[in-house]
Amino acid sequence: MAEREAKIEGVAEVSAMPRLNSLLANGDGKIHVSLSFAVDEQRLRTVSGSASGTVTQTCQRCLEPVPVDVEAEVNLAVALNEEQAKNLPRYYDPLIVEAEDIELLSLIEDELILSLPLVAYHEDCEIQTSFGDADEAARTQETKPNPFSVLAQLKEKADKS
Ligand SMILES: [Zn+2]
């Protein structure tokens, strides 16, 4: 594909990316992927491009779904093994190709996960503004598991056994 300078345009379903999907409120959403294959001046086979889309996370203020934009940029060079990967110019990330098994979607998924906000919320979340200090409420919101309740459960199990 690199020799032919192929280009790929496509749409990936969020539900096809299980690790990304597990961080979202639901599996709705599509990621538009645009990739170009090429051979660079050092004869390295490269894959570059971007992926972007809108996914759904849970607003940490009102706990309703909130759309979140995600974006990934990739600039990869093909390596046949770890050793080759180490020797690639630094401006490339290695795409290690073993046999026919290319984990391109998985790499893009990683980048998309990194682009997720640490905390998602509606920009002007109605519920929260009536409480005043939004950040305070976000920090103390009740959906986070309480570490002490986990300890209590463990203790309960220990007592039973
Ligand atoms: Zn909200």
Token representation of residue 41: 């001046």
Per-residue pLDDT, averaged over 150-158, amounts to 54
pLDDT digits (tens, 9 = 90+) for 3-48: 899 999 999 999 989 999 999 999 889 999 999 999 999 999 999 9
Residue 53: name the closest of 15, 91, 22 by CA: 15
Enumerate the domain spans of the chain.
7-130
Distance 139 CA to ligand 1 centre (A): 14
Distance 128 CA to ligand 1 centre (A): 7
Distance 26 CA to ligand 1 centre (A): 16
Enumerate residues 6+ apart whose C-beta is below 8 A from 22.
Answer: none
- Helix, strand, coil shares of the chain, percent, nearest 5, are 30, 30, 35
Question: Are 45 and 78 within 8 A, CB to CB?
Answer: yes
pLDDT digits (tens, 9 = 90+) for 24-34: 999 889 999 99
User: How many Cβ atoms are within 10 Å of 65's Cβ, its own excluded?
Assistant: 16
Residue 145 has pLDDT above 60, yes or no: no
Distance 124 CA to ligand 1 centre (A): 7
Distance 44 CA to ligand 1 centre (A): 47
* Per-residue confidence band for 62, with pLDDT thresholds at 50, 70 and 90: very high
Distance 57 CA to ligand 1 centre (A): 10
Distance 134 CA to ligand 1 centre (A): 10
Per-residue pLDDT, averaged over 132-160, amounts to 53
Residue 135: name the closest of 112, 148, 118, 152 by CA: 118
Residue 76: name the closest of 109, 38, 42 by CA: 38
The DSSP code for 16 is G
Question: Are 38 and 2 within 8 A, CB to CB?
Answer: yes
